[in-house]
Amino acid sequence: MDIVIYIYNGLTALDAIGPYEVLSRLPNASVKFVAKEKGVIVSDTHFLKLVAEYDITEIDKADILLIPGSVVGFIREAKDTNLLSWINKIDKTTTWTTSVCSGSIILAAAGLLKNKKATSHWGVIHLLKEYGSIPTSERYIQEGKIITAQGVSAGIDMSLYLVSQIIGDEKAKAYQLFIEYDPKPPFNSGNINKADNPTIELAKKILSKEAKKDLTIWDIVKNVQSLIKLKRGK
């Protein structure tokens, strides 16, 4: 099974690595990390680096395509017509096309989510409307062969669900046990609808600070506060 994970500078590492830990264990899995150019890819924190062994010109098909998200780097990717064309080409060959976090904005920019329900990170989910998608605040949601997930850690949930669709619930449950995925967070603030207002405001400030690390994207966005502006409940 060919699993293609697209990576790019500024990505949020767990968006890619969380699903990788699950999907790489599928029978006969072959995982390829793919970028626009081969080489080292730097995450949004600038501390972690991944290696793309393939560039997009070398990959023309996949059974599973995964598009991870980022704090603001997804904006650059969503404006890259060559990348969007490649995503469309790969999507025509996939059994499953998936995204985590703001990766759904990239799928939407490629035209794959028009008139479809989709989810994303709470800070950018409203952007789906600009591409004709229907934002929905689900942990993950399936529309045909496309599955989108909320932010970062939701990629693990989505991947376990995908495994259940491919090889059944019993093996998916065993995968969950194998990686000991039994989250018990110390706080009940992991969802925009559960967090209190001070926590939401602090999270927005953190997002803004992280966004400013990438000055190229900052220049494009110009005002990241407009990007992460969100009314509670939307």
Q: Enter the tokens of residue 22.
A: 């699950």
Annotated catalytic, 101? yes
SS3 label, residue 17: helix
Catalytic-labelled residue, pool 16, 23, 41, 101 = 101
Angle between helices 13-23 and 154-167 (to 10 degrees): 30
Q: Enter the tokens of residue 219.
A: 């220049």
Beta strands in 68-222 (DSSP E): 96-100, 117-118, 134-135, 140-143, 146-149
Sequence-ordered list of residues with C-beta below 8 angstroms from that of 59, at least 6 positions apart, any chain? 4, 32, 34, 90
The whole-angstrom separation of Cα 136 and Cα 205 is 24
| Catalytic residue list | 101
